[in-house]
Structure formats: C-alpha cells, structure tokens
Amino acid sequence: MEALAPDFRSTFLDTASSGITERTHIIEFESIEARMRRYALFLVALVTIATVAAYPTWSRATAHKAAAQDKLQSMTVRGDIWDSVCARAGSHGSMMTKLHASTVKDCTLNCVKGGAELVLYSEGDKVVYRLDSQDKVKEYAGQVVTVIGNYDRATNILHVDRIETGM
C-alpha cells in the first residue's frame, strides 16, 4: 500500500444548501513517492540551469588560457644587451657623449640608473625585445649575447630562460 502524506496545499469547498453557506476544509493527499519525484525533477532543473549559467565563465577561462599559451613563442635571439633609450635610437653615440661614458657597458648602466630598462637589441633586424629579468641580464650589459626564452607577443616581453655569451 502506498503511503500518503498531507500536502501543503489545501482548498476550501463552499457548498450552498438551503441558503446557508457551509465551508468544508479538504486536505489533499499525495504519495511520498510522487512528492520525491517532484523534488528530484526540481533539483535536476536547478542543476541544469546553474550549469548553463556558468558555462560562459568556464568557456571564457579556457579560451583565455589557450590564448595565453598561443601568445608565448619559444625563441632564441642573438643581440646586444642595451638600455631601452639607446636601443630605440639604434646607437649609443649621442648618449655616450652626453654621459661621458667610455664604453657601451658604462653608457648602458648609466642609462639604466637614469630610468631606462635593459633590453635585447637585435642590430641586424633593428628589433628591441623587452626582457622580464632585469637582474639576470644586468651582468651582460653592453655585451653581445644569445638569449633563450619564451616571447610573449601580447606584452612584447622576452622571458629569459638562459643567456649564452660568445658565438
């Protein structure tokens, strides 16, 4: 036999007999199994709605992660460790005179003290690569080096893994 439980819904039945209105309170009964099916259906609908609502956030996060990986490009570049001011000019000439620097290294370090950042300048291509690790490259100021790392196109920064000197 199926168990019955009172439902929270109730109705009033108005009957009119001989001009007197009589109200009878009727309690509706439904099975516990039917109520559980209704709650289960509600939960399934709620989870479905929550999943659909959250999907754009998940897909955006996945897209951003994939885009970030696509932006990084493994790269090996040969060039000079210069300061950003002289690299943009393509020469140390005017700054060496202005700063009374006797070597490219002195010029580079003086410009860095003045607020410039260390960069890798590829003289053949006339390309300036910003470097993420200023401390790691400072000892190579003014030298020709080969930088091995990952280039981030979005930020124009070369993430330095290692630096090699010489040919």
How do residues 49-69 score in pLDDT, each as one tens digit? 877 777 666 555 555 555 555
Residues 90, 143 within the same domain: yes
- Neighbouring residues of 162: CB distance < 8 A, sequence distance ≥ 6: 147, 148, 149
Of 130, 167, 123, 124, the C-alpha closest to 150 is 130
- Long-range contacts made by residues 93-98, C-beta under 8 angstroms, separation at least 24? none
Domain span including residue 93: 72-165
Q: How many domains does the chain divide into? A: 2
CA separation for the pair 112, 83 (Å, rounded)? 6
Task: For residue 96, give the CATH number of its domain.
Answer: 2.40.50
Structure tokens at 94: 């005017």
Mean of per-residue pLDDT scores for the chain: 79
pLDDT one-digit tens code per residue, 127-162: 999 999 898 999 999 999 999 999 998 888 999 999
Residues 59, 104 within the same domain: no
**Amino acid at site 133:** S
pLDDT one-digit tens code per residue, 18-55: 555 555 555 556 677 878 888 888 888 888 887 777 76
Question: What's the angle, vertex CA 103, arms to CA 100 and CA 109, rounded to 5?
Answer: 80
Whether the full predicted model's pTM is greater than 0.85, yes or no, is: no
Residues 135, 149 within the same domain: yes
Q: Among 70, 90, 124, identify where a domain stops.
A: 70
**Amino acid at site 116:** A
